[in-house]
Structure 1
Amino acid sequence: MKRRETALMAMLIAILLITSCTSVKPTERYVYESSDPNALYYTNPIVLERADPWIYEHTDGYYYMMASVPEYDRLELRRSQTMTGLAYAEPVTVWEKNESGIMSKNIWAPEIYHIDGKWYIYFSAARADREFDHRMYVLENASANPLEGEWELKGQIRTGYEVFQIDASLFEHDDIWYMMWSGAGAKGNTLYMAQMENPWTLSTSRIMLTEPEYEWEQRAVVHVIEAPEVITYNDRIYLTYSASFCDANYNMGLLTASADSDLMNPASWEKSEEPIFVSNPHANAYGPGHGSFLISRDSSERIHVYHAVDGQGTGYGCDKARNVRLQPYSFDEAGELQLGSPVSRGFTLPTPSGEARFELERYASSLSNEALVEDEYFSGGKGIRLGKRSEKVKLAEVRAPETGLYALTLSYSNGGNAAKQPISINGRKVEFEVESNAAHVQSSLMVELKGGVNELELRYGDKLLELDYVELSYIDLAAGEAIVKPGLALTRTTQLEALAEESSLQLVSHALNMPEGYYTVAAAYRAAAADASVAIVVNEESIPLQLESSSEWAYSSVQLKLSGETKLQLEKSGEVELAYLRVLAAPPEHVELRFVNRQTGIALQPNNGSKEAGEGYRQYNITDTPAQKWQLEREVDGSYYLKNAISGLYMTVRGERAVQEELSKVSEQRWLLQYAAEGSYRIVSASSGLAPTAIAADPNLYENLSFEAVDGRDAQVWYLTQKE
């Protein structure tokens, strides 16, 4: 049951002159709502009306997901080659409850595993005449694909106690399989564990791991701890669990043990006195818990899967109110598990590292069956063969979070002479130089994609080639001489540190061929000393960047008008760490955009959608009203006026707040858009340095927007979005 860990391939592209950029037109869409599982980003929640999510990565290249359905009457299974693609995978019912007797009511918390060549699903169920008297059961399937074949009931998991028992979960350690579960105990639902003889039989008596004892474990009439899951990291075992009722009171706790200890000795387990994952009222994200833990395709990132609800009180109990979310987690230098805070509905994140891969056989509906090939060394074991001039493959919906430079990688095999493989990007043709006699080789080009939807098409070139996949990565001008580095999710600390470690240069220079237009040029930095400075030099003109002293990675950016042959240099003095330089198209003018808060997932608008001058601003759930739409008007210094679509008035600083006023071209009406990653910005007053901040996630509060000094909070970060 070990996770497949794909080696991370470091990709370096040396380049001195970029010629593949195209002009940025003001009508381009900056869209973050994705309908494509291969997008470079995703938006939480990924699945609605599901709870207790379990995702299992198998060696066949697929992720398999199960969860409790709100009807509690069946077991659903879905699969995808990416985690985020599970949002679009068709759920298949693989088993339904009995009409009467055992397993006829409240089918809860299924988990799927592949053990010794067969598939097993563990779940808990009650009887229709005793709907909350649950027992644990296991199904078996010998098919290679668990969506096919027959599921045979192996029976009830016998623990030696005929009492309420739910949430069976397994882990393997030192070639021993363990089962954990939640069952009735003296103080309420209690965690137990035993070793296993085989996938349906326990080999030892149970031990009690922990029972409800703290206030945060007892926020229900029945005291509940449940949903055990295990993470192994370095020399320790981390056992997470969920506590209290499944509404907004739900939260997560932790037990830890040394990996070389006797895990069947309760004394080996140390319990944290405080919960490790709790509700985030600022994000309207409540009751997080009962999830699972994964590692990204390239093994560089850890992902937490869990469910949460979008509020508290009436309507936000269990059942349909719960939804499934993904977000990264980590371990700190001391080995402490860091789950962070649950994110809001609408929160946009980069796809788990290594997932923006387009398996070409999935897009080959226009090709003959002879054009499909099997190759055990291809990703997923399959690919396509383009051998006729009429043959082509179209990727009609490739979504990028922002206009900018990307690495486009093609994986292929070529049994003959060197050749060219054409590919068109939004109608513009580029060509890969294909090596001779090359097997399972990857070649990369630097291309420009627009924010929103892009179309890619691969056609037959001048000879037959076998193609595996196309993969996309962000491009950055790294802190190294003329080196371009791709990396999905550039805000990931691990990747930033890796880039920073590879360069200690004081002066970095890049020559670019830039279509005329405005650009955001951003440098990633951290740990700036008081006397440190960083400047971007554009064709000999030095433009200083504003730095903060934070130990966390941050961006400092400027808006610049660039055209033609451009020499960009990055200068630094004093103590400051630099990771890379980004060059992106600046946000468009005269296009109706929303500002959606990164922390809360809701949009900026005048109070109650007012058209009156003098009104302040609030945030509210995303709607189609003009009150939530804004147009940007750029000044020559790169600052902007922000015009509201419903009122025609401009956001203006007055003291420590902002109000709507007529345009008068005063400095109080000018705003800087400071890049904050993944197509998001801080909106900072050019006159006062204050930034709009979401101080509560409840849209029913009349005024829940303040204007404060810039800091590192997500509450000050806004996505620029445009609904299609």
Structure 2
Amino acid sequence: MHAEGRSGSNIRRTAARIAAAFALLALSTPPAVARDPQAADATFTNPILQSGPDPWVIAHDGIYYYTHTLGNRIALWRTADITNLADAEHRVVWTPPASGPNAHSIWAPELHRIDGKWYLYYSATAAGFKDDAHRAIFVLENDMANPLEGEWVDRGRVNTARAGIDGTVFERDGTWYFAYSPYIGKVSGLAIARMANPWTLTGPERVIARPDKPWEDRGGRKILEGPQFLESATGRLFMSYSAGACWSDDYALGLLAAKRGGDLLDPATWTKHPQPVLRSGNGVFATGHNGFFTSPDRREQWIVYHANPRAGMGCTARRAPHMQRIEWTAAGEPRIGPPAPMTQRLRKPSGTRP
């Protein structure tokens, strides 16, 4: 009994010393990263707004400008931190006329900087119509340094060969190109033409892609829409597009790759990726209608796209903007998907000011 009592006493003294050591360690250990306000400020979660169909982002002189479909007007957001749109300066910069060819269904606005001026490209439907035959792309011009200021001048309809939607522009080797989604019979495809100026096309307009994959036929309609140009650091050119109907949970992004040195108006220059590069997953549905932009320090390329947080939500204003960084494979191909889970904290674009 005497020997057993000494052993128990030693065990109690050892346990006391261990407890004291852990208490001292707890006092000297810094709090978890989640409590670090600087670490929290360096990350974000999707979506970056609770509503924002057809989102568009452009970075210029360290400032982000953002817009999305509102249906009956165009608004712009201005911020140094694209992940903090909820607190960004924003205002309505244009409302459509009560009648005429661009009176209704103001969709998919895009802001571009061309030769020192700002241009807003948007889709619209003529007053009194809801059919595809009366949809077209129009342009607004602003010569102010800040596009939220000044007057937007209506430059009218882009002279596309067909009715269509979702116009975008891109400069390549000193030539500006215009791409959009024309209606071709009962389907829509992707077409491209050269530009004489920001509101006028010149020369031939060529259809470079049509819906010919099973995943491009979703929601009861074969659709290619929302073309966007993407250039790699090595100069390779790609074009993303949205496939299928926006009301389908299977709405997805496809990708075309241009052959180096090829004529961009030649369909043979473009090769279609066999599978979507971004599709529903990780609790994110109906991923589509994207834009590309660079980080403030121009070291990273990012994608913004809209998505639904649940299945079966359709093509409504509940679609919200998501963004994530684009990675590049060793072969020089963009790795865009899968969508980041909405619970995942992502690092903000490099060079974002606090």
TM-score, scaled relative to structure 1: 0.43
Matched with 2:125 is 126
Q: Which amino acid aligns with 2:109?
A: P
Distance in 1 separating the partners of 2:33 and 2:50: 26
Q: Relative CO higher for 1 or 2, CA cutoff 8 Å, sep ≥ 6?
A: 2
Distance in 2 separating the partners of 1:221 and 1:104: 28
The structure richer in strand per residue is 1
Matched with 2:277 is 276
- Does the CA-based 8 Å contact 2:229-2:239 persist in structure 1? yes
3-state DSSP class of the match of 2:289? strand
Aligned CA-pair RMSD: 2.1
5+ unaligned residues in a row in structure 1: which ranges?
1-21, 359-724
Matched with 1:243 is 243
3-state DSSP class of the match of 2:55? strand
1:78 counterpart = 2:77: yes
Q: Which 4+ stretches in 1 moved above 6 angstroms? A: none
- Does the CA-based 8 Å contact 1:94-1:151 persist in structure 2? yes
Distance in 2 separating the partners of 1:24 and 1:320: 47
Distance in 2 separating the partners of 1:128 and 1:186: 22
Distance in 1 separating the partners of 2:236 and 2:33: 47
Deviation (angstroms), 1:221: 2.5
The number of aligned residues is 323
Deviation (angstroms), 1:292: 1.2
3-state DSSP class of the match of 2:268? helix
1:298 counterpart = 2:297: yes
- CA, structure 1 residues 231+209, in 2 after alignment: closer, same or farther (shift >3 Å)? same
Deviation (angstroms), 1:93: 0.4
1:47 counterpart = 2:40: no
Matched with 1:608 is none
Matched with 1:215 is 214
3-state DSSP class of the match of 1:267? helix
1:328 corresponds, among 322, 325, 330, to 325
Distance in 2 separating the partners of 1:197 and 1:216: 35
Q: Percent identity?
A: 37
Matched with 1:62 is 63
Distance in 1 separating the partners of 2:301 and 2:168: 20
- Does the CA-based 8 Å contact 2:160-2:201 persist in structure 1? yes
Matched with 1:689 is none
1:157 counterpart = 2:154: no
- Does the CA-based 8 Å contact 1:124-1:135 persist in structure 2? yes
Deviation (angstroms), 1:91: 2.5
Distance in 1 separating the partners of 2:236 and 2:120: 27
Q: Give CA deviations for 1:664-714 in whole Å, capped at 9, x if unaligned.
A: xxxxxxxxxxxxxxxxxxxxxxxxxxxxxxxxxxxxxxxxxxxxxxxxxxx
- CA, structure 1 residues 184+344, in 2 after alignment: closer, same or farther (shift >3 Å)? same
3-state DSSP class of the match of 1:206? strand
Q: Give CA deviations for 1:171-218 in whole Å, capped at 9, x if unaligned.
A: 100000000000111350111000000001001221001111111101
Distance in 2 separating the partners of 1:187 and 1:103: 23
Distance in 1 separating the partners of 2:294 and 2:121: 22
Deviation (angstroms), 1:159: 1.4
Q: Give CA deviations for 1:455-484 in whole Å, capped at 9, x if unaligned.
A: xxxxxxxxxxxxxxxxxxxxxxxxxxxxxx
Q: Give CA deviations for 1:355-406 in whole Å, capped at 9, x if unaligned.
A: 2x34xxxxxxxxxxxxxxxxxxxxxxxxxxxxxxxxxxxxxxxxxxxxxxxx
**Highest CA radius of gyration, 1 or 2?**
1
Distance in 2 separating the partners of 1:231 and 1:138: 22
Distance in 1 separating the partners of 2:57 and 2:33: 33
3-state DSSP class of the match of 1:85? helix
Q: Give CA deviations for 1:106-130 in whole Å, capped at 9, x if unaligned.
A: 1000001111121110001012411
- Does the CA-based 8 Å contact 1:124-1:136 persist in structure 2? yes
Q: How does 1:373-392 map to 2 (within 5 A)?
A: none
- CA, structure 1 residues 152+298, in 2 after alignment: closer, same or farther (shift >3 Å)? closer
Q: How does 1:442-453 map to 2 (within 5 A)?
A: none
Q: Which amino acid aligns with 2:237?
A: I
Distance in 2 separating the partners of 1:53 and 1:337: 20
- Does the CA-based 8 Å contact 2:59-2:295 persist in structure 1? no
Q: Which amino acid aligns with 1:320?
A: A
Matched with 1:473 is none
Deviation (angstroms), 1:289: 1.5
Range with greater deviation from structure 2 (123-132 or 195-204): 123-132
1:95 counterpart = 2:94: yes
Matched with 1:340 is 337
Matched with 2:258 is 257
Q: Give CA deviations for 1:225-256 in whole Å, capped at 9, x if unaligned.
A: 10101111124211110101113121011111
Distance in 1 separating the partners of 2:264 and 2:34: 51
Matched with 1:199 is 198
Q: Give CA deviations for 1:269-296 in whole Å, capped at 9, x if unaligned.
A: 111121111110xx21011111111222
3-state DSSP class of the match of 1:320? coil
- Does the CA-based 8 Å contact 1:187-1:211 persist in structure 2? no
- Does the CA-based 8 Å contact 2:59-2:296 persist in structure 1? no
- CA, structure 1 residues 257+29, in 2 after alignment: closer, same or farther (shift >3 Å)? closer
Distance in 1 separating the partners of 2:86 and 2:195: 33
2:351 corresponds, among 349, 354, 371, to 354
Q: Give CA deviations for 1:542-566 in whole Å, capped at 9, x if unaligned.
A: xxxxxxxxxxxxxxxxxxxxxxxxx
- Does the CA-based 8 Å contact 1:180-1:194 persist in structure 2? yes
3-state DSSP class of the match of 2:330? coil
1:135 counterpart = 2:132: no
Deviation (angstroms), 1:345: 2.5
The structure richer in helix per residue is 2
- CA, structure 1 residues 31+46, in 2 after alignment: closer, same or farther (shift >3 Å)? farther
Distance in 1 separating the partners of 2:30 and 2:297: 35
5+ unaligned residues in a row in structure 2: which ranges?
1-26
Q: Which amino acid aligns with 1:244?
A: G
- Does the CA-based 8 Å contact 1:298-1:354 persist in structure 2? yes
Distance in 1 separating the partners of 2:325 and 2:294: 9
Distance in 1 separating the partners of 2:301 and 2:116: 26
Deviation (angstroms), 1:351: 1.1
Distance in 1 separating the partners of 2:99 and 2:208: 34
Distance in 2 separating the partners of 1:189 and 1:334: 31
- Does the CA-based 8 Å contact 1:187-1:212 persist in structure 2? no
Distance in 2 separating the partners of 1:148 and 1:298: 25
Q: Which amino acid aligns with 1:239?
A: M
TM-score, scaled relative to structure 2: 0.86
Q: Which amino acid aligns with 1:342?
A: P
